[in-house]
A = this chain, B = another copy of it.
Amino acid sequence: MDHSSDERSVPTLADVARYANVSTATVSRCLNSPELVVELTRVRVMKAVAELGYTPNFGARALAAKQTNTIGAIIPTMENAVFARGIQAFQEELVRNGKTLLIASSAYDERLEEEQLRTIVARGADGVLLIGYDRSDAIYKLLKKRSVPCVVAWSFDNTQRQPAVGFDNRHAMAELARLVIRQGHRNIACISAPIAGNDRARGRVEGIRQAMTEAGLTGETLTLTQTPYGIEAGEIALRSTLAKSPDTTAVMCVNDVLAIGALRAAKEMGLRVPEDISITGFDDIELAMLAEPALTTVHVPHREMGRRAASMLIQMVKHREIPESIELPTDIRLRRSLGPAPK
């Protein structure tokens, strides 16, 4: 079978030490703080490392050093381009700093998120990235108890204490809603992801409400439809929205994917966008620009968010201090899908 422990087997620190004729401590130092070892020795040791093809055993290292150089991230799903992009940038920044990414997805499920966090913490992640603030207290407590630094991304709210890198969802959406209202829309509907346990979606919906109130649209209520993620889900949601409120002239979606679905459903129903109905999104994924008509949406700097979240986390791990949260700007991309309200 596989007697993998011949002389062929995986070399250990001790093997390298023997081969280079030094102590294990010296080898360890060559690897971790080379400046403590005189050049001559260091060269000899490195040669031994190379010749034996030695790679440190992670478990042993973690055990002895109480540091894993691993950062965990729990995101709702990678299938959402927005997260995929942010996480890609996050990971690149980690690698640049010698960290590895441990990844898990929660499928927008709070219980699953907690479970995943437990395994990530048990694996000794030095820090964790979480999406949005909303989650059970148990999670924050666990993090605190194990003193694992944590940063929140995709949200920014200065009433919250968690360090975050994100943007103000409510504010960004309110801005867009004001624009919609300025176009004369009064019967506005919103298609949202489920807002329970999702402060990003909730913030966006609240933003619309806020803008409506500001504009004195108090008689009209906002027609809100909650739905899962996906283009098809957006299509269905538009139909049910129009069934509920046939007078709707503008549909604001909390993300571009739902908006694309809504756009499609509108076309299928023979409605012209934006002449008969306006539709807006959020995120500004590539699709937004490509849609027909192109989608008015809120642009979010996903890559920058990922990158800065990584830096922040690395700082927190290194210096054990709580940094200032970072609020990133968003801006509105005005495109054809938003037009004046029909008479």
Which residue numbers of A lie inside 8 Å of B, CB to CB?
1-2, 4, 8, 10, 53, 55-63, 68, 70, 77-79, 81, 84-85, 87-88, 91-92, 95, 100-105, 107, 116, 118-124, 142, 145-147, 231, 260, 264, 286-287, 290-292, 320
Contacts and interface: CB of A to CB of B under 8 A. Distances in A.
Q: How many copies does the complex hold?
A: 2
Contacts of A147: 2, 4
Nearest to A11: B145
A123 B105 contact: no
Contacts of A62: 58-59, 62
Given A59-B61, A100-B119, A100-B123, 20 more contacts: A2-B147, A4-B147, A8-B145, A10-B145, A53-B142, A55-B122, A56-B122, A78-B91, A79-B85, A91-B103, A91-B104, A92-B107, A100-B102, A100-B120, A101-B103, A101-B104, A103-B103, A264-B290, A290-B290, A292-B292
A57 B120 CA distance: 11
Nearest to A85: B79
A291 B264 CA distance: 11
Contacts of A57: 63, 122, 124
Most chain B CB neighbours (cut-off 10 Å) among A68, A100, A124: A100
A107 B95 CA distance: 12
A103 B145 CA distance: 27
